[in-house]
Structure 1
Amino acid sequence: MKGFVFHGPGQASWQDLPDPGIKEPTDAIVKVGVVTICGTDLHILKGDVPEVRPGTVLGHEAVGEIVEIGGDVRTVRPGDRVLMSCITSCGRCRFCRDGSYGQCRGGGGWILGHLIDGTQAEYVRVPCADLSVHPLPAALADEDAVLLADIFPTAYEVGVLNGRVRPGDTVAVVGAGPVGLAAIATARLFSPERIIAVDLAPARLEAAHRLGADAIADAREAPGQLVDDLTDGLGADVVIEAVGVPESFELCTRMVRPGGHVANVGVHGRPATLHLEDLWSKNVTITTGLVDTYSTPTLLRMAAGGRLPTRQLVTHTFPLEHMEEAYDVFAQAADTGALKVVLGGERHEVAVPEA
């Protein structure tokens, strides 16, 4: 088979690899149908995630068909079309029993494309398959389902739910990349008074407006002032950080109101300053988190019912073997307008988001 292999910071290639095989009786082997690239993959290529060893196949988001299962797998069988979750769950450890699958201590957590070979390949070995793949409803297309492997549960759980978005809130989302856009879409489920999107790229701000942002702000043009103007100087009830750089985190802590919530979603590769000299008296709650994907079954039902704007986030599609080109397009999003880049499937033309 072929896969996209990390060789060190700034180095990766689409190359020949041995086919994966069953190692544990709880494993499944999946033939990849559709796969996508995550901003976290770009962080890995930059060297921000040092535990990823050279020689690892990248990727943690894919849809495919079960081709082989271990003797202990009970919930899927060969021929099933499944979503591969970005999080693997053993189902037995303390954290999995609490639904905190991202913190699994039984060989799971975020391991695909991180600690073991991932999904950007023709075939994938998925450990703990009973709890780590999700059978897909026939009504849900692969290109829609693949966005539920990571960005929608991440935005919903780590951003919207951790941020405790409530009806009537002012919600600011800093970063209108794929996860930020998914946060806008899922925050709308809770009927906030307004959603404010902040980004540097005009194309991403336009996408944020299409997906439900009531106001947009260029990050270079005093977005905090816009938040103050819209809230009579109080600040936002919930601020979701969806970039992963120190400047955006610190901006979030300046925009939140006293008693508000800052929900950090972004993957940070550098230290950020926590200005406790300003925050200590403001009763602000700051949350961080790795997605647990406990919401994936619910989101799958919503997507199958047409309640999530998944396809609107897909801007480019490629054949699977064009992985290197797809990475270039995704990495140059400011120039290409890329939001979510999807590889594989039967359609390989560029998809235009709905207006």
Structure 2
Amino acid sequence: MQDYARYDIKDFLADEAFCRWVLHEKPADNAFWENWIRNNPDRASIVKHAKELIAEIHHAQNYLSEEELQHELYRLTAARKSATEAQEYAEQTNDEYKPHWFGANWANRMSVILVALTCFVVLFYFYSNYSKTSKPQISQQTLQDKKDEKWIEVRNDQTSIKVVSLPDGSSVRLSPESKISYPAVFVQNEREVLLNGEAFFEVVKNPESPFKVYTNDVVTTVLGTSFTVKAFDQDKDVRVVVKTGRVTVAANPPQNKTPQPEKNELVLLPNQQVVYHRDDQKMKRSLIENPAQIGPPDITSQNLIFDNAPVAKVFESLQKRYEVQIIYDADLMAGCELTAELGQEPLFEKLGMICKAIQARYEVIDGQIVIHGSACK
């Protein structure tokens, strides 16, 4: 997890999880941040100022066109450069040569200017990219145009998995009654495939060329990871399951349906999944039924042994093993300890045993595990 205790305002503004909380206030995010602020009261003022700035910039963006936003970004970037140069110049000269407007506390003023400009630039990119990816990624006509191009189409009419190698070295395990289409050669900075059915992807990492899987309902975007997409035409739902890495799933509803204005894009981490309901065009993120341990077999095969260990250490170990987020009140449970050996039991079985030992309970909210309990005697 991020060390938010060391964050200043511009760090919070550049943090995707923090911005998501401010804009959407999802229950899991609320639980985490409210708990964090209680445990870090000295940072509450910085958090408050960061929230206010995000809200103001987001509100202002609603009244600007794309052209105006680009112009504002250019202007702010130029201003930030000038401010930086002025600060460097002032630091290299004696006080008597500093511009009169710096004053006695010129360093503090310059710092505030630079932070404000940095915030504007960072948030422009964040919200500009968010607004772009939140819209449907590709129209049905474009999908048809791609199918009409000279792409390679592979169908799996067998009863077993069919392995398909893509031009970039990525591999696809295509399920029966499924088909995939892709270009003979991926163009620069673009790797796109079309899927109808179900497939497991192991994507070669390339930060300069995002990998996108298009279906009739969702667009899945990655840089390099492994995940499954299930999107059969006859199914009511579309499902994306992440095994490793980070995946973005955006809604791409058919043209005869109006897209939902909110919650049409989600970021998934290992052991998380998203289900897109075709009828109401809503997406729901959750943990998979049986989360798997992430990492080399020689590490994941080792049991976790605790001897009067603080419960915080136990939760931290599970977070690393499964790459899931566990939210709990650290102060409230500071006195809770655990003596146990956790082997290859399913994650939820482990959590059940831990919660029973410390008289707590857990629930899964939006792909995160939230622990509810009280102080240990």
Please classify the TM superposition score into its range, dividing by the shorter chain length: under 0.3
TM-score between the two structures when normalised by the length of structure 1: 0.25
Larger RCO (alpha carbons 8 Å, 6+ apart): 1
Bigger radius of gyration? 2
**Which one has the bigger helix percentage?**
2
